[in-house]
Amino acid sequence: MKSKIVECVPNFSEGQSQEVIDAISEAIRSTDGVSLLDVDPGPSTNRTVYTFVGSPDAVIEGALNAARKAYKLIDMTKHKGEHPRLGALDVCPFIPVQGVEMEECIFCARKFAAKLAAELKVPVYLYGYASEQEYRKTVPQIRAGEYEGILEKITKPEWKPDYGPAEFVPSWGATMAGARKFLIAYNVNVLGTKEQAHRIALDIREQGRSKEEPGKLKNCQAIGWWLDEANIAQVSINLTDHDVTPIHAAYEEVRKGAKELKLAVTGSQIVGIVPLKAMIQAAEFYMSKENLFVLEEDQKLHLAINRLGLSSLGPFNPKERIIEYMLPEDENGSLATKSVQDFIKTVSARTPAPGGGSVAAAVGAMGAALSCMVGQMTYGKRQWERYDSQMRRIIPVMHETMNELISIIDADTSAFNDYMAALKLPKESPEDIIMREAAMEAGLKKAISVPMSLAKAISKLWDYLKELATLGNFGTKSDLQVGVKCLETGVFGAYYNVIINAEGIRDEKYKNGVLNEIEQYRSLAEKSCQETLLILQERRA
């Protein structure tokens, strides 16, 4: 089972004093259960973004420790910087990363806000998903007027803080604590003036110039500023939902705006940490745009870094900037990351899990891997170059399915453990029995959904496999034969798991539906495997 991980990204209004920056870093780093992933100071903005992860309780304590230290060291009466700010600890968001829903991050934000206000006697506003008031839900809404406007603003009934005194604390200002999705802080370099960069920002940000002149990009906040240390202007962007507006979309829009103003764009900069998905999205955009064939994850990252110019102001190291590569390892590890020897020995142990479901996923992943290998041993070779376009279409499907099946190795064991936990629930009262039965039914449905996803993933490969059997490098014939049988075995393993788990399901409509569906996958696998092997058997180079 994967542990619960929450990300916390407090922004402190100090980016020039290394002594203060280091002291806050140490306060976070010394918190039990917390991993400090990144510290990103900005001298011109006079602001430092800290990124750390941990369990819900640990990140709350880490944020409090940082705030306690900042309270002693930062004096907002002396603060000046390019970045808008409300207080010494300006914003403190909590973001779900692993095994955590947004509701738990809302709880983190409110618990942190209550403790901060009670201990330091400072005003705290809730924002994002943690706020229940539409007119003060976003950071720009709450930050309007900035630090200098707090004295007048905080006395108005509609701007009473959610926690803490409705009083101006000169040395601190006010803090915003919230829960949100992953926000990407992203700056694009423009060789122009601060004012020209801001003109571009007004064109792209969602709020635009006014209600009558909205901007081009949804879930996008932006301003233009000057970066003294690099002697350039930047369009500074916050992407609040990178699924709606991805990094590359923002970059390309800034390039268009700069071109209209006859300005050069010289790369860009990610502040803090970025999700792997966002980088892969950018790579796949440029792959499609330029008709490129790039398969491996590290090569896709190399492409994205290059096309976005992410190393223009300093090296962009994926292992230090992409959150998935920085998460602390699960204490128990995962089945998929074990050595082959250790995985086999774990399966052989006197425990019910991992069992047939995880093995079926592992065997299926091997089959997809072998099929991917056959494609790659065909692609790019002069003897088979007439089939390059087909291989460019087939190989990514095999590669993606391989990765999908690898994830199912652990998912199957996790589903089994959930069902076993339901079995152990109390059954002393009628209410206990009802709750236990509902949990068991839900556990069985989850235990069915995992092998069903395994069978479904493999079933989309059969047509590609027949094509690969017809066109692929003849020297890899036996490899594909082994791969095809592995994939068939994966489906049969899924079939047997669904059948046995369906026996305990009371929902007859659901039960009949899954039994019909898994039978279709089994029948298709058996038929398609035979057809693919026949193609290979009859083929003569």
Q: Which residues are catalytic?
A: 83, 412
Is 444 within 8 Å of 327 (Cβ atoms)? Answer: no
Cα separation, 367 vs 373, in Å, equals 10
Cα separation, 30 vs 18, in Å, equals 18
3-state secondary structure at position 318: helix
Q: Cis ω on the peptide bond leading into residue 161 (within 30° of 0)?
A: no
3-state secondary structure at position 334: coil
Cα separation, 452 vs 521, in Å, equals 9
Residue that the structure tokens 């690969």 belong to: 468
DSSP states along 45-64: TTEEEEEEEE-HHHHHHHHH
3-state secondary structure at position 93: strand
Structure tokens at 492: 């049969």
3-state secondary structure at position 53: strand
Is 175 within 8 Å of 124 (Cβ atoms)? Answer: yes
Alpha helix segments (H runs only) across 268-355: 276-290, 297-308, 318-321, 323-326, 340-348
3-state secondary structure at position 108: helix
3-state secondary structure at position 502: helix
Cα separation, 328 vs 27, in Å, equals 19
